[in-house]
Amino acid sequence: MEAKKAAAGTSLESLMSSFNTRIAELQDLVIARNMYPATSVTDLSAVDAALKGMELQLHSIKDRLRDETLAIPKAKKIIDASLRQQKKLQSMSVYAPSYFPERTTTILETNRCLMSEFSKQDLGVGSLKLEEEPAALPKEKKGRGSPPLWHITANELDSLSSYMRGRLTLEKVNAAINDMATYAEANAHLISAPKKKLAENHWEKALELRDIAMTDGVKGKHFFLENDIKGPALKLDNTGKAILTVLRHLGRISETRIGHHRVIILLKPQ
């Protein structure tokens, strides 16, 4: 009986010792948790993903730097060539006028007349074709002559109000005057050309232009229609409308309406 009591006491002491050991371990764990809270530990997987992203960005930056480094010599060559071209253009611009008042057609006509004169001097009276050909030219331009090229000056442009002038430049306005003279000259050829020299699609316009040319206020003057405006310098946009307003204000053109056409007349210096 006493032996059983002794065995039971030993088992109870062993159980209590085990509980005490477990309690001590739990206390150590509680202390460790308080020293290093869970929120302060970084997720290692997120850190790994961030590092991989930074590595990819670093590689792309290195590639871009390598490409830029290889492109630097080419860019230097282009810059040097541009600077040389700029110097050439600057040296040429010293001798070039700000605009060219004469049209190519006028130069060609002058050269053609000079060539005919030289031909007559060299060949004599025996060439009848050379004598008859220049005689036909005055008939085409009878009563009109060449369209007026009355360019504006810088003082005239500066005299306009800033609202009317806008962003117009002297070169743009004078280039538009060249275009208008070209339109008027083309219409003059249609008016004076015989039917056999005109294509079928031009004959109707020629008849219409002849009727307009015989009306009061237009007769004997060079003109063109609003539909003739097709560039290259003068177009039917806001800039083109502003140029027409300026030229009308400065007395370079006048406008009238005949039928459904807006007729623009080129004026000559008084």
Average pLDDT over residues 182-191: 94
Answer whether residue 116 shows pLDDT above 90: no
pLDDT value for 233: 94
Average pLDDT over residues 162-179: 94
pTM of the entire predicted model: 0.48
Query: CB-based contacts of 153: which residues, under 8 Å, 6+ apart?
Result: 170
Q: What is the pLDDT of residues 191-248, one digit of tens each?
A: 999 988 888 888 999 999 999 999 999 999 999 999 999 989 999 999 999 999 999 9
Among the listed ranges 7-16, 97-106, 217-226, which one has the minimum average pLDDT value? 97-106
Answer whether residue 39 shows pLDDT above 60: no
pLDDT cut 90: percent of the chain above it: 41
The DSSP result for the chain, as a single string, is: -HHHHHHHHHHHHHHHHHHHHHHHHHHHHHHHHHHS-GGGSPPHHHHHHHHHHHHHHHHHHHHHHHHHHHHHHHHHHHHHHHHHHHHHHHHHHTTS-SS--S-HHHHHHHHHHHHHHHHHHHHGGG-HHHHHHHHHHHHHTTTT-SPP-----HHHHHHS-HHHHTT--HHHHHHHHHHHHHHHHHHHHHHHS-GGGS-HHHHHHHHHHHHHHTSTTTTTS-EEEGGG---SS--SSHHHHHHHHHHHHTTSEEEEEETTEEEEEE----
